[in-house]
Amino acid sequence: MSKVSVREAALLTGKSRETINAATKSGKLSSARDGTNRKLIDVSELERVYPLVKTIDQIQQPSEPVKPRQVVSESDVRAEVVRLSERLAASEAMQDNLIAERSRERRQLEDEIANLRENLARAQEQHSKALLLITDQSQQASTGGGDWERSIKALEKRLANHEEQVRREREKNEEAERKLERYKRALHSERNKSLWKKLFG
């Protein structure tokens, strides 16, 4: 029966080389040394301990030859260069479009911010003017002079006249209601007198 190395024993059994070495060191698996001090294991001894998953012929088959590299022609290289150049140009064009779009959006935002700042400045200016006008009018009113005081007095006079007109109209209405009530009582009295005359002559 032939003998195999630790590597070949691992291939035959499907075990690792560490497992085979551990089995030989523990005495579970017998082994011997050749002239180069290489550890050899008898196949029958190996099969006694571990079931074989491959044959010696299978593990000793030469590996598949390396396939030669495919030779690329110069025309193929040029075609690939053209294709990559076109992809690069398309990518650069897309990048330029994105940069232009971002620049346009940035300009729009800058214009919008400028408009908002301008509107805010106008609003603050109008607020300051209104506050200054109110302050001036308050000062004029407190000193008792100026157009503001005259405007207030004129408004108070108009309000007083309106209230006087309302009072007069209310008095007229109340007087009319009193006259109507007197007329109703007089009419009722006349009706009663006519009834007594009819009854008692």
| Right CATH for 3-59 from 1.10.10, 1.10.3300, 1.10.3470, 1.10.1660 | 1.10.1660
List pLDDT tens digits, range 51-82: 999 988 888 765 555 566 666 788 888 888 88
Mean pLDDT of the chain: 80
CA dist., res. 197 & res. 195, Å (int):
5
For residues 115-123, average pLDDT = 75
For residues 141-162, average pLDDT = 72
Q: Which residue has the tokens 């004029």?
A: 140
User: Any alpha helices (H) in 5-145, and if so which ranges?
Assistant: 6-13, 17-26, 43-49, 56-59, 74-143
For residues 30-53, average pLDDT = 91
Residue 126 has pLDDT above 60, yes or no: yes
List pLDDT tens digits, range 164-196: 887 888 898 788 889 888 878 877 777 766 655
Neighbours of 148 (CB within 10 A): 17
| 39: three-class secondary structure by DSSP | strand
Q: Which residue has the higher pLDDT, 11 or 163?
A: 11
Domain ranges of the chain: 3-59
CA dist., res. 160 & res. 154, Å (int):
10
| 138: three-class secondary structure by DSSP | helix
Lowest mean pLDDT among 4-13, 15-24, 61-70: 61-70
For residues 38-59, average pLDDT = 90
pTM beyond cutoff 0.75: no
Q: Which residue has the higher pLDDT, 97 or 81?
A: 81
For residues 4-17, average pLDDT = 93
Tokens representing residue 131 in the block: 């506050």
